[in-house]
Structure 1
Amino acid sequence: MVRERVGIMDIVRGYLSRGAPRTATAVKGLVSLARASRDAHDSIGLRVQRIAERHPERVAVRDARRGLSYFALNQLANRWAHWLQQQGVGPGDGVALLMENRVEMLAAVTATVKIGAVAGLLNHNQRGEVLAHSIRLVKPRALIVGAECAPAVDSIVLREVAPDAPVAWVADGDAAEVPSGAVDLETDSATLSAADPEATARVQAANPAFYIFTSGTTGMPKAAVMSHNRWLRAAAGVGLASLRMRADDVFFCPLPLYHNNALTLAWGAVLAAGAELYIGRRFSASRFWDELRAADATVFCYIGELCRYLLQQPERENDARHRVRACVGNGLRPELWDAFQKRFAIPHINEFYGASEGNLVFTNSFNVAGSCGFCPLSYAVVAFDHDAEAPERDARGRMRKVERGEVGLLIAEVSDRAPFDGYTDPEASEKKLLRDVFAEGDCWFNTGDLVRDIGMRHIQFIDRVGDTFRWKGENVATTEVERAVDALPAIDESIVYGVEVPGYDGRAGMAGVLLHEGERFDGAAVARHLCDTLPAYAVPVFIRVMARVETTGTFKHRKVDLKKAGFDPAACDGDAVHVLRDRDAGYTPITDDDLQAIRDGRMRL
């Protein structure tokens, strides 16, 4: 489904197709949005506290092992908050959190934001220097680590990364040995007060709440700042006005909590309504619907690849047997939309568009198929120069908006109503801003994404630009992968880029490598090194052994031509192309049978 136009009747039909529209809930969300103020003493921790006071018996969060009422969650978070204060953590200080999806992760997040500190949500898949870099960005005054993340911690020298930060260890189910230099958080906080910290009432909406890590275009992760205000606005706009969440909803979250669409959209929607969050430890396509039914969920969140995996599962007679009334996420490909919605009988697919560091969100409030949704804030879709990978400017230096139905770069105006919180690094923040776009002195946020303007203030996501591509639901920074490839003794130079693969969302990683003179390509050794060094989603699927590397006049790699050539050796100027069929076997030369298997969907990548 390639939708190029949206009219008023599309919106009316989509809205009516949702069944009971829960109008009162939608109005409540819109009122909350209108009243939101960056200067207010309002925060995520205060919202948890208020629900605990008014509805202590309601279930706040569950996983497969345990559940907590709002009263119990608030009390646990309060004890941990007092422990953090004992370590000298105060407003604005960073607290690094490294844990898989479970109830305790949400308690640690709540404890951190209750005292005005900033929770740095670390990706538990990271290892080595990438993880160390992320921790340094948080500048933690304390770390809270789940026992299941011991291998990640073992991959770095923690005392070199955060020499003065105390480490709190959180057992994963059965009590486990606490490493030397760490303390057991549950034991160490057991006798502390469970009263609400006084600091919670002083936290302002404008204050930072989280650091959400994004690959960006510099190669190493960047920490995007999420303020309480932006989180609360998303909770009201998506949770109430768009999803129409109520207290009797159960929200199933199979995505990692370090993702913004889990921590902000899923939990935000739940808190906005005082509903229940069920956290899946990790996504499993074969167990997804059984786990969702066991949770008795009415709403769930997704990323596009998750939907594809579910569609690829064998059909079952109970595929549509559930209580789901809506799902929310991003990246559902238009060609899969109808099949996914019909097979699993989902009344409302609430596709959204947003970025961790961005200042606007599109949300499919009106249930328009194939659309990222509607946004009331000021934005523009401008003409983009694909060769220069930059927005076009005319002789006066101004940009041009594309016509309805055309594709261009999405930019969002930065204003008091839609501020740009940026990154922890001011220089990185400035690079995301475009100035003097339509008039002298104006300022716009560059999303780095290509979208189609389909009218009625709706857009359709097309692709990403720059050095970051998306694979397996994760952003992959090419320079991070290039750094790992270049560490191999046989490699003289590498170029990493994403290539389109039939039947897959995003782009698969491909590395073009130039070998040192006299060296041969050892596919098994290269695979071992990359699999040990990089997260699984960042390991290149294809490697092209190049005879030469072409650069531009400014010595930049010509990735445009490489992307166009893809992984078919016939288009690669005689260069050998290798594919990672099996991680144990390593990279092996791609054959005609491999190419056909990939195109037919018989080879899983």
Structure 2
Amino acid sequence: MSWAISTLAVGMVTLLLIQRKFYPCFWDDLMYYARVRRVGSMMMARMKRGVVTYLQCFELQARNIPEKAFIVFEEQTLTYRAVDARSNRFANALKSHCGLKHGDIVALLMNNEADFICVWFGLCKLGCEVAFLNFNIKSQSLRHCLHSCGAKALVIGSGKLRNATRRYSSSRALNTARGAYKPETDGPQPNLMNNFLFIFTSGTTGLPKAARISHIKAVMCMAFLRLCGARACDRVYLTLPLYHMSASLLCIGGCIELGATCVLKRKFSASQFWKDCVKYDITMFQYIGELCRYLVNQPKVLNFEVAHKVRLAAGSGLRADVWKEFLRRFGKIQIREAYGLTEASIGFVNYTDEIGPIGRLNLPFEFLKCDPHTYEPIRTDTGHCIKVSKGQAGLLVAPVMFTNPFLGYAGDKAMSERKLLRDVFKCGDVYFNTGDLMLQDHRNFVYFKDRIGDTFRWKGENVSTTEVSEVLGCLDLLLDVSVYGVTVPGYEGRAGMTAVVLKDGHGLDGERLYSHLLHTLPPYAWPCFLRVQVRLLLIRQSHDVLSMTVSWNCSYFPHHSLQVHRFVPFISFLKFFFFFPQIIFCYKSESVVL
């Protein structure tokens, strides 16, 4: 008997050693796939009860846990019941005073606040399709967004009405429209493949594109926090803008799916972050890479950095060096780095403690071999694409199917078609082209390598090089303009660099250039660097261009000077450099390493 027990023990130890050597992520994979199965079972159970859409999931929680805190904003706490009641009042007011009805498209331009969610849900109860507008966009981009999505009405938050000539008293409308909203009994039933809302992404043709988000995509996003390990008892800290999918669908939707509480902030503050975490008993927060870097660069606040209860953080864009420093300084917080797209349902989650990857194998996807200059997929003589081997960077694509739908962009079928690859591996198949270069290693970890095409990411936002070029091209002093992203050591994403040729007889008018940018582009899209040249070289959009790096010691720059809202030449500090607020312009500078 003792011999059998000893043999069994030796066998178990041997199996564990083999597992740790050849399959070290076995237990992580097992636990993650168990969560996936549970999420799928819960979703199917809800659907059998008629709970199909994002809004219906919220209404279910409002019935099940009515008195639980849902949104905490500043000194205001709204329960699930309170948000449901307030969204009813918005629905009644918008129907009676604005005549909105099922099928209407309504644009929403609001800062982060509790009423963003109440207005959104109120419009959903009317059957309207909501278009989230980036509150940073201005002028031509704003007009384009309203036109491209076909908005019938625009709801503007009070914080955006400073320049409005007429103000409508929403409080009077709400007070006269109390009570539950009663939908039409004969209204069309929701279809999972129908459009739910519009979220704008950067456009390759110069202006933002209105991506259609289906009901099934929105419902699938609601599982994100649970897949990351969040629980119903968590209090989730959200500082990201609600017009982004990450905040509105992944975080708010994730809290609804769990029945958790979201502590919403108007905007991110690095100096206030840990104080808020202690004040509101935060156990989880959502991040972008820049947010974590700002926290690491802040002076230490030991009382708050040690006293917090944060155990989990989920987001995207976190660099490995910042990741390591964040864990070293702020304690054992589980980081769940992820990757996802607004337009499609493909995504990854790094559910292990491995630092660096964006995820592991889950949803169907492929990495394609592509041309190093054009980044177009390379095809064989039969017309089909070629998969790359593990350890090689390739273009990430995903099959278009029921669980990964692509509804395209509003207003332009040709633009939607350009995101699709056909006859990839066999005749008739269709794949969504993410435009991102990825690498899968021998352990099945996936790493983000680069974003190709006419966009780059800066300050947590996607910037369209074409849009910036067209805006600058409107200035009569510029003959030619070229915009591209460059890496800056110590910063996530790419900073915008603009190369320009001045027209004969014109000099560089910094005051005018700054004023033009101020009134036409959001701050994150302003070029960080300007190169004035005699002529522009014809540069192909290749990885060589994307890998340009700006190098110098930034401690030379007087940061307090960037608070001045005007053009300021600092010739005394560095010859040929000009400073704008948040902009460093290089004038015929040799400090740019090409």
Instruction: Give the match for residue 237 of structure 2.
Output: 252
Post-superposition Cα deviations, 1:535-564, rounded to whole Å, max 9, x if no partner, equal 111110101111112337xxxx66766555
Instruction: Give the match for residue 8 of structure 2.
Output: none
Residues 568 and 266 (structure 1), Cα distance of their counterparts in 2 relative to 1, 3 Å cut: closer
Instruction: Give the match for residue 337 of structure 1.
Output: 323
Q: Tell me if 1:487 matches 2:474.
A: yes
CA contact 2:344–2:404 (8 Å) conserved in 1: no
Amino acid at match of 2:567: G
Q: Tell me if 1:420 matches 2:401.
A: no
Bigger Cα displacement from structure 2, 218-227 vs 25-34: 25-34
Q: 1:137: Cα distance to partner?
A: 2.4
Q: 1:353: Cα distance to partner?
A: 0.6
Q: Tell me if 1:60 matches 2:47.
A: no
Instruction: Give the match for residue 410 of structure 1.
Output: 396
Q: In structure 2, what is the Cα distance between the partners aligned to 1:375 and 1:89?
A: 44
Amino acid at match of 1:54: N
Equivalent of residue 387 in structure 1, options 373, 385, 404: 373
Q: Tell me if 1:277 matches 2:258.
A: no
Q: In structure 1, what is the Cα distance between the partners aligned to 2:132 and 2:286?
A: 19
Q: In structure 2, what is the Cα distance between the partners aligned to 1:559 and 1:376?
A: 30
CA contact 1:41–1:201 (8 Å) conserved in 2: no
Amino acid at match of 2:348: F
Instruction: Give the match for residue 176 of structure 1.
Output: none
Residues 186 and 38 (structure 1), Cα distance of their counterparts in 2 relative to 1, 3 Å cut: farther
Q: Tell me if 1:295 matches 2:280.
A: yes
Residues 504 and 136 (structure 1), Cα distance of their counterparts in 2 relative to 1, 3 Å cut: same
The SS at the match of 1:319 is helix
Q: In structure 1, what is the Cα distance between the partners aligned to 2:255 and 2:148?
A: 29
Q: Tell me if 1:550 matches 2:537.
A: yes
Bigger Cα displacement from structure 2, 497-506 vs 128-137: 128-137
Instruction: Give the match for residue 444 of structure 1.
Output: 431
Equivalent of residue 126 in structure 2, options 115, 124, 127: 115
Residues 267 and 367 (structure 1), Cα distance of their counterparts in 2 relative to 1, 3 Å cut: farther
Equivalent of residue 364 in structure 2, options 354, 371, 378: 378
The SS at the match of 2:339 is strand
CA contact 1:210–1:227 (8 Å) conserved in 2: yes
Q: In structure 1, what is the Cα distance between the partners aligned to 2:254 and 2:541?
A: 43
Give 5+ residue unaligned stretches, structure 1.
1-5, 155-178, 570-578
Bigger Cα displacement from structure 2, 391-400 vs 469-478: 391-400
Amino acid at match of 1:437: V
Instruction: Give the match for residue 54 of structure 2.
Output: 44
Equivalent of residue 100 in structure 2, options 60, 64, 89: 89
Instruction: Give the match for residue 246 of structure 2.
Output: 261
Residues 562 and 492 (structure 1), Cα distance of their counterparts in 2 relative to 1, 3 Å cut: farther
Instruction: Give the match for residue 184 of structure 1.
Output: 169
The SS at the match of 1:513 is strand
Residues 591 and 565 (structure 1), Cα distance of their counterparts in 2 relative to 1, 3 Å cut: farther
Post-superposition Cα deviations, 1:59-101, rounded to whole Å, max 9, x if no partner, equal 1111113121111100110111122333332333211111110
The SS at the match of 1:338 is helix
Equivalent of residue 310 in structure 1, options 262, 284, 295: 295
Instruction: Give the match for residue 138 of structure 1.
Output: 149
Amino acid at match of 1:330: S
Q: In structure 2, what is the Cα distance between the partners aligned to 1:323 and 1:223?
A: 39
Q: Tell me if 1:150 matches 2:136.
A: no
Equivalent of residue 213 in structure 1, options 175, 185, 200: 200
The SS at the match of 2:307 is coil
Post-superposition Cα deviations, 1:373-430, rounded to whole Å, max 9, x if no partner, equal 1352211111222311322223332221111122111111111232112211322211
Amino acid at match of 1:210: L
CA contact 2:438–2:449 (8 Å) conserved in 1: yes
Residues 288 and 10 (structure 1), Cα distance of their counterparts in 2 relative to 1, 3 Å cut: farther
Instruction: Give the match for residue 12 of structure 2.
Output: none
TM-score (norm. length: structure 2): 0.85
Residues 466 and 36 (structure 1), Cα distance of their counterparts in 2 relative to 1, 3 Å cut: farther
Q: In structure 2, what is the Cα distance between the partners aligned to 1:293 and 1:201?
A: 46
Post-superposition Cα deviations, 1:248-297, rounded to whole Å, max 9, x if no partner, equal 11111000000111011111110111111111110111111112222211
Q: In structure 1, what is the Cα distance between the partners aligned to 2:569 and 2:24?
A: 49
Q: In structure 2, what is the Cα distance between the partners aligned to 1:28 and 1:117?
A: 31
Post-superposition Cα deviations, 1:116-167, rounded to whole Å, max 9, x if no partner, equal 211111111111111111122232233221111125x65xxxxxxxxxxxxx
Residues 551 and 505 (structure 1), Cα distance of their counterparts in 2 relative to 1, 3 Å cut: same
Instruction: Give the match for residue 591 of structure 2.
Output: none
Bigger Cα displacement from structure 2, 539-548 vs 318-327: 318-327
CA contact 1:96–1:121 (8 Å) conserved in 2: yes
CA contact 1:44–1:113 (8 Å) conserved in 2: no
Q: In structure 2, what is the Cα distance between the partners aligned to 1:563 and 1:581?
A: 29
Give 5+ residue unaligned stretches, structure 2.
1-19, 553-558, 587-594
Bigger Cα displacement from structure 2, 268-277 vs 559-568: 559-568
Q: Which has the larger radius of gyration?
A: 2
Q: Tell me if 1:235 matches 2:222.
A: yes
Q: In structure 1, what is the Cα distance between the partners aligned to 2:529 and 2:585?
A: 13
Q: Tell me if 1:500 matches 2:474.
A: no
Q: Tell me if 1:360 matches 2:373.
A: no
Equivalent of residue 529 in structure 1, options 502, 516, 521: 516
The SS at the match of 2:121 is helix
Q: In structure 1, what is the Cα distance between the partners aligned to 2:571 and 2:246?
A: 36
Amino acid at match of 2:41: V
Residues 526 and 116 (structure 1), Cα distance of their counterparts in 2 relative to 1, 3 Å cut: same
Instruction: Give the match for residue 586 of structure 1.
Output: 567
Residues 567 and 489 (structure 1), Cα distance of their counterparts in 2 relative to 1, 3 Å cut: farther
Q: What percentage of residue pairs aligned between the two structures are identical?
A: 34
Amino acid at match of 2:368: V
Bigger Cα displacement from structure 2, 89-98 vs 533-542: 89-98
Question: Deviation above 4 Å: which 4+ runs of structure 1?
Answer: 6-10, 12-16, 21-27, 33-41, 557-569, 587-596
Bigger Cα displacement from structure 2, 121-130 vs 290-299: 290-299
TM-score (norm. length: structure 1): 0.83
Residues 24 and 59 (structure 1), Cα distance of their counterparts in 2 relative to 1, 3 Å cut: farther
Q: Count matched residues.
A: 550
Q: 1:499: Cα distance to partner?
A: 0.5
